Chains A and B, each alone.
Chain A
Amino acid sequence: MTHLPYIAASYGLFAIMALVFSVGAALRLKRDRIRLATLEQKAPRKAGAAPQS
């Protein structure tokens, strides 16, 4: 393959970026879901319904 370093760098940058963003988003979703579930369990039903907007 010609120009291999340039090609490898391009695909590598993309792979790193895709990985960072998808893992970051997945971890954030998981953490938020757990926190929300525990809070809603603790809080009375009314407080859970109030903050819609």
Chain B
Amino acid sequence: MSASPTFVARTGNFFHRYANPGQFLKLGARLQPWLTWPAILLTLTGLGWGLFFSPADWQQGDSVRIMYVHVPAAMLASAGYAGLAICGLLSLVWRHPLADLAAVEIGPVGASITALCLATGSLWGKPMWGTWWVWDARLTSVLVLFFLYLGHIALIRAFDDPQRGYKAAAILALAGAVDLPIIKFSVQWWNTLHQPDSITLTGAPTMSSSMLWPLALSALGMGLGFAAIVVARTRAAVMESRIRALLSSPRRRGNAA
């Protein structure tokens, strides 16, 4: 407890130094090409490899190629929400204005990638399992994540005073983070129709390396793409807040004169 004030202060200083909106505009503009171009290159390589050159699975046939979209989308759905939760923490504890702007922009991107994960999962489940949807623990917890995203999107825009929306949404983002470990471990804690993870930290991946490589590339590419889109949208949001400030301040001054 005694060491925490300095930690909190130092963390706050760090974010104010490197992530204040003005600094972010400069940093983001410089970072943008390094995110965008590798994202496009890696995603196209990974998905092209997965779609045309990787082998078909011995029992699933070519439908295994849906994996190269589905698995990165699932990873990003969780990672995006973890990002929202971190923004929520920065907003609630350090009142960081950039965290709120980023949370507004992550929401729709994360919700869409979660929807993509659910849709591709359905398209994979129908030919393989024999059903579009089942209410097992993995599928249900990801559906809950999708609704958490929708709730966050609605809440952060729901108030006339944006600060109140930011606060409510930050609380929802942190509370909803409880769903993330449930998603991760659902396939271990309960028996589900969804298979357990092929790639784990502890064991060898139960996947041929000829499928693992394209998967790794497309996951990396889509991850960078997600980051690139969030950075671009947050840069735009910072600019928009400046535009609003510029538009309102001279007018107020003009009225007073």
Give the residue of B43, B66, B109 whose beta carbon is less than 8 angstroms from that of A10: B66
The answer to whether B4 has its CB under 8 Å from any CB of chain A is: no
Q: Are A2 and B242 in contact (CB under 8 A)?
A: no
Chain B residues within 8 Å of A36, by CB: 239, 242-243, 246
> Once bound together, how far apart are the Cα atoms of A16 and B151, in whole Å?
24
A47-B47 in contact (CB<8A): no
Kindly state whether residue B21 has any CB partner on chain A within 8 Å.
yes
Where chain B touches its partner, the secondary structure class is helix
- Are B63 and A7 closer than 8 Å at their CB atoms? yes
Give the tally of cross-chain contacts (CB within 8 A): 99
Are A11 and B126 within 8 A (Cβ)?
no
Stretch with Cβ within 8 A of A (4 or more), from B78-86, B112-120, B188-196: B112-120
With a cutoff of 8 Å between Cβ atoms, the chain A residues found around residue B66 in the complex are 6-7, 10
* A18 near B250: Cβ-Cβ < 8 Å: no
A39, B243: Cβ atoms closer than 8 Å: yes
Whether a CB of chain A sits under 8 angstroms from the CB of B12 is: no
Which residues of chain A (6-42) have a CB below 8 Å from chain B? 6-7, 9-11, 13-14, 17-18, 21-22, 25-26, 28-29, 32-33, 35-36, 39-40
A10 surroundings in chain B (CB, below 8 A): 66, 69-70, 119-120, 123-124
A40–B72 Cα distance when bound, in Å, is 41
Give the shortest distance, in Å, between B101 (CB) and chain A (any CB): 11
Type the 1/0 row for B231-244, where 1 means its CB is closer than 8 Å to any CB of A: 01101100111111
Nearest opposing residue in chain B for A4, CB measure? B62
CA distance A48 to B247 in the complex (A): 10
Contact yes or no, B246 A40, CB < 8 A = yes
> In the complex the two chains form, what is the Cα distance from A3 to B120 in whole Å?
13
Question: Which residues of B in the span 55-72 have a Cβ within 8 Å of any Cβ on A?
Answer: 56, 61-63, 65-66, 69-70
> Which of chain A's residues have a CB closer than 8 A to the CB of B119?
10, 13
B250 near A47 (CB under 8 angstroms)? yes
> Apart from A22-B228, A43-B246, what are 19 other A-B pairs with CB-CB below 8 Å?
A1-B62, A3-B61, A7-B65, A9-B123, A10-B119, A13-B119, A13-B120, A17-B112, A21-B112, A28-B232, A28-B236, A29-B232, A32-B239, A35-B239, A39-B247, A40-B246, A43-B250, A50-B245, A51-B246
A to B CB contacts below 8 Å, 18 in the list: A1-B62, A2-B63, A3-B63, A6-B124, A6-B126, A10-B69, A11-B47, A13-B69, A13-B119, A18-B43, A25-B232, A28-B232, A33-B239, A48-B246, A50-B245, A51-B241, A51-B249, A52-B20
- Residues in chain B within 8 A of chain A (CB atoms): 20-22, 43, 47, 51, 56, 61-63, 65-66, 69-70, 73, 97, 109, 112-113, 116, 119-120, 123-124, 126-127, 225, 228-229, 232-233, 235-236, 239-247, 249-250
